[in-house]
Chains A and B, each alone.
Chain A
Amino acid sequence: MNKKRLGVFKFASCDGCQLSLLSCEDELIELAGMIEIVHFLEASSRVDPGPFDVALIEGSITTEKDAQRIREIRHQSKTLVTIGACATAGGIQALRNWADHEEFIASVYAHPEYIETLSTSTPIADHVAVDFELRGCPIDRHQLLEVLAALIADRSPRTPRHSVCIECKRRGTVCLVVTQGLPCLGPVTQAGCGAICPAYDRPCYGCFGPAAQANCPALSTHHLAGATTETQMVHALRNMNAAANVFQIESDRLESGST
């Protein structure tokens, strides 16, 4: 069997998702024997040109050059998988999409004229076709291993689309919404993390992005009827997946006051 050729590419991001691959301590060496790492700057100084059987993409598009670069990678890749909230939804840096870009730059830099970035941070799928999206900020390494195993075996990866709530029940965590009235995003957030936050006595802040059939308006109505303010709800939705479609629509709706 020919080894699959793997490329790992980074755009605007924190490195955390590709680090998840290096955090597969038990599997890493074995994995490296089953695939050929062709391009993975963080891990190897051997850098070969494409094509790639599998391209893992971390990070969002925030410059014209990166928009061009992702198109080139797409051309060279058979299967393209986005890893993490940056690549899948624009990441935390998509908060710029709501801001005055010029003012953002000027507040950090003495010489704004030297900076060249787009005024938006957009997911990879806005630019090229994506074959599979892996959620999370960061991704869960077990899910990453499932995706790689599937791609090595030429089958489609299987990751759940239900909400964090289901994982809480499985973990036996007492519901924070029911018992403490906390503004948890678990009901609208996709499973995958194993419901970590509620197990640590804090509400989910949506780092895996919207679950299938997430009903955000209903959740807002529920939380706003309690102690949660509108600003808190807007901010909860505007984190690492702020620009994920249904989170964005809901935070904009709340902000425009049409509740």
Chain B
Amino acid sequence: MSDNRKITVNALTRVEGEGALHVRVSGDQIESVKLTIYEPPRFFESFLRGRAIEEVPDITARICGICPVAYQMTSVHAIENALDVEISSGVRALRRLLYCAEWIESHVLHIVMLNAPDFFDCHSGIELAEKFPDRVNDGLRIKKIGNRVLEVLGGRAIHPVNVRVGGFYRLPSRDELTELLSDLRWALDAAIDLARWVATFDFPELNIHCELVALQNDDEYPMNEGAIASTIHSPISVEEYEQHFGEQHAPHSTALQSKRRDSAAPYFLGPLARLELNQEQLFPAARKLAEEICPPIPLRNRFHSIIARSIEVVHALEEAIGIIEAYQPPPEPFRPYQHRESEGCAATEAPRGMIYHHYRINDDGTVASSKIVPPTSQNQLQIESDLRDYLPRLLDQPDDIVAAECEKLIRNYDPCISCSTHFLTLEMERT
């Protein structure tokens, strides 16, 4: 094997959106690891300027077809924060229901179709289905039920139409929701089985200490709100996010990457971080399951992400069932509000990690400026750093195996490259 190696994955597969990986090795030294995002930028922040705040959730949804609810939720919460709109408790519960449905749909897609194939040397979920038809079929059925909830409450699963500032356009009737219960109950049992199966996979050991960041909430497993908690630093409020975290646009980087302003170390978001920081808030079945299958805290092995995701699916199903069982339509679908000059922000938990939005609003109710920080731009530095730690043990393998193993590691973060509102295209500059 030559001393200087360049290992390239030209097109990452089974991730959402498109990117590449470039690794340069000299002898046994890892010289550089670059995750290249070649999604062309789509300039959302720019064209939101001047649009009415009422249009924002429909526009930001289009940032990502995999987690449109995360974008819609974060937008409306941030705008409501700016305008001091207090949503009703009933609307709040329905928003959690919508978010649960997206977690179910997105997580199960990732578990069964994108991630699990890696543990069985399959190229796709479809190939996996040849080996484990029942598992894959159950997974697809659970996913479909998540989509069904999105369709009933949101109008459709991808880019739902029912979310608006202040609440929803139309409230579902009790019957519309309770009809979903029997399917959801089946899905809960199936998801517990699925999680138990996932826990039996053969996981590579990759224990890397780093800062985990997730929302934290005294009353519930975090989705729509909470303080920004960390395994290293004390919690901060969402309002303080930009004081502590910033985006950099480095010449050799292909994306705006987030990091703590006062530290060079990256941080890590997503299901493992959420679970580590919020395990006590899991609903009973999920909690029991976590005690049974979740590796002990601290959760440091990146390959265990799929276990965390499976536990979160169970939690989301339990919570969805609870919300629907208790549902009484609130008195009004949305709270009225007044336009005024203001600014506000919000952070929520997208399936793949925390997402932050900030808006300044003009007195006529149009957007003056916006800032959108998707989860993947926050995880990107951590992914590169983890690859650097993982690579040395792979180096005695041929290039194609190294490349395939790196790709497997990357899938653990469920990177959602489409949601790179402002990731940019750039050839790597080599020195």
Contact A117/B425 with A12-B42, A96-B43 known, Cβ cut-off 8 Å: yes
| CB of B34, distance to nearest CB on chain A (Å) | 14
Q: Inside 8 A of B424's CB, which chain A residues have their CB?
A: 109, 114-117
Q: Is B82 an interface residue (CB 8 A)?
A: no
For the complex, give the distance between the alpha carbons of A85 and B68 in Å: 16
Q: Is B328 an interface residue (CB 8 A)?
A: no
For the complex, give the distance between the alpha carbons of A46 and B407 in Å: 13
For the complex, give the distance between the alpha carbons of A167 and B159 in Å: 19
Q: Is A193 an interface residue (CB 8 A)?
A: yes
For the complex, give the distance between the alpha carbons of A19 and B65 in Å: 7
For the complex, give the distance between the alpha carbons of A149 and B426 in Å: 39
Contact A13/B156 with A29-B137, A111-B249 known, Cβ cut-off 8 Å: no
For the complex, give the distance between the alpha carbons of A202 and B171 in Å: 12
Taking a contact as CB atoms under 8 Å apart, the answer to whether A115 and B426 are in contact is: yes
**Restricting to B16-52, which residues have a CB under 8 Å from any CB of A?**
16-18, 39-43, 45-47, 51-52
Contact A108/B41 with A42-B14, A114-B251, A137-B62 known, Cβ cut-off 8 Å: yes
Contact A116/B425 with A29-B129, A235-B51, A235-B55 known, Cβ cut-off 8 Å: yes
Taking a contact as CB atoms under 8 Å apart, the answer to whether B46 and A107 are in contact is: yes
Q: Inside 8 A of B109's CB, which chain A residues have their CB?
A: 19, 22
Contact A200/B158 with A109-B424, A205-B58 known, Cβ cut-off 8 Å: no
Q: Inside 8 A of A23's CB, which chain B residues have their CB?
A: 143, 147, 157-158
Q: Inside 8 A of A66's CB, which chain B residues have their CB?
A: 40
Q: Is A63 an interface residue (CB 8 A)?
A: yes
Q: Inside 8 A of B62's CB, which chain A residues have their CB?
A: 14, 16, 91-92, 137, 240
For the complex, give the distance between the alpha carbons of A138 and B109 in Å: 18
Contact A47/B13 with A14-B63, A117-B425, A200-B169 known, Cβ cut-off 8 Å: yes
Taking a contact as CB atoms under 8 Å apart, the answer to whether A239 and B59 are in contact is: yes
- Interface stretch, picked from B118-126, B218-226, B282-290, B353-361, is B118-126
| CB of B69, distance to nearest CB on chain A (Å) | 12
Contact A44/B123 with A15-B64, A207-B159 known, Cβ cut-off 8 Å: yes
By size class, the interface of chain B is 35 or more
Taking a contact as CB atoms under 8 Å apart, the answer to whether A108 and B140 are in contact is: no
For the complex, give the distance between the alpha carbons of A116 and B38 in Å: 11
Taking a contact as CB atoms under 8 Å apart, the answer to whether B59 and A92 are in contact is: yes
Interface flags for B414-431 (1: CB within 8 Å of A; 0: not) read 000011001011100000
Q: Inside 8 A of B66's CB, which chain A residues have their CB?
A: 15-16, 19
Q: Is A25 an interface residue (CB 8 A)?
A: yes
Q: Inside 8 A of A13's CB, which chain B residues have their CB?
A: 65, 418
Taking a contact as CB atoms under 8 Å apart, the answer to whether B249 and A114 are in contact is: yes
Q: Is B170 an interface residue (CB 8 A)?
A: yes
**Restricting to A28-72, which residues have a CB under 8 Å from any CB of B?**
28-29, 32, 37, 41-47, 62-63, 65-66
26 contacts between A and B (CB under 8 A): A14-B68, A15-B64, A15-B418, A16-B65, A16-B66, A19-B65, A28-B126, A29-B129, A41-B12, A42-B13, A43-B125, A45-B124, A63-B40, A65-B425, A93-B42, A96-B43, A108-B46, A108-B256, A109-B422, A110-B248, A114-B249, A114-B424, A114-B426, A196-B155, A232-B52, A235-B55
